[in-house]
Amino acid sequence: MYTIDRITEVPSDLDVAFNKTINKFKKVATKLDLEPIKCDLLEKNYKKQIEFDGTKFLVTFNKYHIHGAVPVLNGWSVRARIDAGVHSENIIRSVVDVPERFRDNSTFCEHCNTNRKRKKLFLLEHVETGEWVRVGSSCLKQFVDIDEVDSIINNFENLIRFLDVDLNPEVNESYGKSFPEIINLKSFLAMVIHLTKQYGYMSGTKARELDCPSTGDDALYVLTNEHDSNKKIREEVLSNTGLIDQATAIIEYFKTIEPTSDYERVLSILAKDEFLIPRESNYAASMYITYQRIHEQQNASEQKVNEYLDLELKKRYSNMTLNLIKIITCESIYGYSYLHIFEDAEGRCVRWFGSKRLGEPGVYNNLSFTVKGFDEYKGVKQTTITRVSQK
């Protein structure tokens, strides 16, 4: 049986995320009929002085002993993840020592036998023969022939984030690079809210167009850089209960949503994990803007009057003003028809379906129409009109 047997130190503010990761890994092991992984707390809330970029600071840690079975995928055990370097060497994140031949900075996949640009690969060892292979992430499901491999690998990656970092700088010179990889989501969102209110919001897409840092980049920098000015901002933001409460509300909202898109699914996963790594920073930062937009839409919807127009059925009206919200084009064997969705000044919904297209969305004055009926769609009361014209 292939096992993990490691002692690791976890920053106390990441303790919740760490234990969630362990619990997820236990579920995977149970699903594969393996002995669940065990996590024993050895020491709690002790402080260590850490030196990072020449600056010394205290960090509170919890020490754990992690031991148990590593999931085996049709005879193959995942032993390491390789983060492919674009302008630097590959980074091998492993729970065991790996063969020297994989330290060649290559992105060659031994399943599809191609060497191309990749973000990450995995090293697997066969539990019976001891053979090692390097497989690209996109080939992994086909190589092990297991449908649930994405879930298994995601949990393995979450666990390896903690296990591949030796947090003692005396024995691990890469501490300064590795430690900031895992960021507490609540602290991050509080910083995003603060920066957005101070300087406005810059998305990752817009930042790439303008070749400047995004709000997510700035939040990461302030949270992880030990310059005195950043320390001061951190202390102010993380002690601000208003910002922390806002961040908590955002996380709780995305924990409970039913995702309707891949984007919402990513935000839901981040909220449930309660931590992020740098490459997820722009997604995580967008949680604040998305949350704001959704609640603004909800508030605007609540302010609208959900009633029918106070008009008589089958009566003709003139000199009416309506706001055309959108036009939906419908095609049939008879040609094109158009569904016009209007609102009046109080937000009451009005609809008109006909073969004539009125024009572009906007406010229309001096409209004449006849009231055709009163309907309801998905809880919204709609007044249906016909014979629409404009002077």
Q: Answer whether 256's CB lies under 8 Å from 267's CB.
A: no
Q: What is the pLDDT of residue 340?
A: 93
CA count, 13 A, side-chain hemisphere, 111: 16
Q: What is the distance between the alpha carbons of residues 32 and 53, in angstroms, rounded to a whole number?
A: 43
Calculate the CA dihedral of residues 251, 257, 258, 259 and round it to 10 degrees: -50
Task: Indicate if the pLDDT at residue 133 is higher than 90.
Answer: yes
**Quick one: average pLDDT of 144-151?**
68
**Quick one: average pLDDT of 68-75?**
74
Q: Pick 98 or 340 by higher pLDDT.
A: 340
Question: What domains lie within the chain, and their CATH numbers?
Answer: 3-175 (no CATH), 183-303 (no CATH), 316-390 (2.40.50.110)
If you search the block for the tokens 């014209």, which residue do you land on?
389
- pLDDT, tens only, 256-303: 988 888 888 888 888 887 778 777 889 899 999 999 888 877 766 555
**Quick one: average pLDDT of 332-355?**
88
Round to the nearest angstrom and report the end-to-end CA distance of the chain: 83
- pLDDT, tens only, 10-25: 877 777 777 877 777 7
| Beta pairing partners, 46 | 61
Q: What is the pLDDT of residue 29?
A: 67
Q: Which two tokens stand for residue 253?
A: 């909202």
Look at residue 336 and give its three-state secondary structure.
Answer: strand
Instruction: Please report, as a single letter, which amino acid is at residue 154.
Output: N
Residue 88 DSSP symbol: S
Q: Pick 232 or 31 by higher pLDDT.
A: 232
* C-alpha to C-alpha distances, 319 to 195, 368, 372, 387, nearest whole angstrom: 48, 6, 17, 14
Q: Answer whether 163's CB lies under 8 Å from 155's CB.
A: no
Q: Pick 11 or 87 by higher pLDDT.
A: 11
- pLDDT, tens only, 219-250: 988 888 777 888 889 999 999 999 999 999 99
